């Protein structure tokens, strides 16, 4: 894949992440916290996929995307280790929100997921600019 195509894919995925973040905020403001958790997580996920587009590398399963990002970007401290923990938490909360009928949503925790997505989008945007 050429650098131009990789750059375009990275920017497309980052825009997708921004849209999902806006969706998460709208759902949060409407007190739809499970949906907001889902959209915040997918904002995080597509931000990570934007970075991977620059390599280019891709995976079919979420756990493989997250594992690769942790190994190559968190453990190498390209991104702070605390961010890795926040991403892991967001994934667990999204799974609970989506699949656990008895999961009790905490609005403060949902707000943290949205904040993590915002933080990551900002970091990824700067990372992409530095690489292109």
- Model pLDDT, residue 1: 53
CB-CB neighbours of 68 under 10 Å = 17
33-70: pLDDT as tens digits: 999 999 999 999 999 999 999 997 889 899 999 999 99
**25 pLDDT band (50/70/90 cuts)?**
very high
Mean predicted confidence (pLDDT) in 3-29: 92
Please give the distance of CA 23 from its chain centroid, rounded to a whole number.
13
The verdict on pTM exceeding 0.85 is yes
CB 113 within 8 Å of CB 16: no
Domains of the chain: 3-131 (1.20.120.330)
* Confidence (pLDDT) at 5: 67
Element at 20 (helix H, strand E) = helix 3-29
**What's the token pair of residue 43?**
């904002």
Cα 62 from Cα 64, distance rounded (Å): 5
Contact 96, 109 (CB under 8 A): no
pLDDT tier at 2 (50, 70, 90 boundaries)? low
For the segment 63-103, what is each residue's pLDDT rounded down to a tens digit?
999 999 999 999 999 999 999 999 999 999 999 999 998 99
Burial of 111 (0-12, 13-18, 19+ CB in 10 A): middle
Give 50-61 as a 3 state SS string: HHHHCCCCCCCC
Distance CA 99, CA 118 (A): 24
d(CA 12, CA 29): 26
């Amino acid at each position: 894949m050429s650098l131009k195509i990789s750059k375009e894919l990275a920017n497309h995925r980052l825009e997708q992440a921004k849209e999902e973040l806006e969706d998460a905020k709208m759902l949060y403001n409407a007190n739809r916290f499970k949906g907001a958790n889902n959209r915040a997580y997918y904002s995080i996920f597509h931000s990570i996929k934007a970075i991977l587009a620059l390599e280019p590398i891709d995976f079919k399963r979420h756990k493989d995307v997250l594992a690769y990002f942790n190994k190559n970007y968190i453990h190498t401290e390209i991104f702070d280790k605390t961010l890795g923990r926040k991403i892991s938490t967001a994934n667990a909360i999204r799974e609970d929100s989506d699949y656990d009928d008895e999961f009790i949503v905490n609005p403060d925790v949902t707000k943290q997921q949205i904040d993590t997505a915002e933080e990551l989008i900002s970091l990824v945007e700067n990372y992409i600019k530095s690489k292109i």
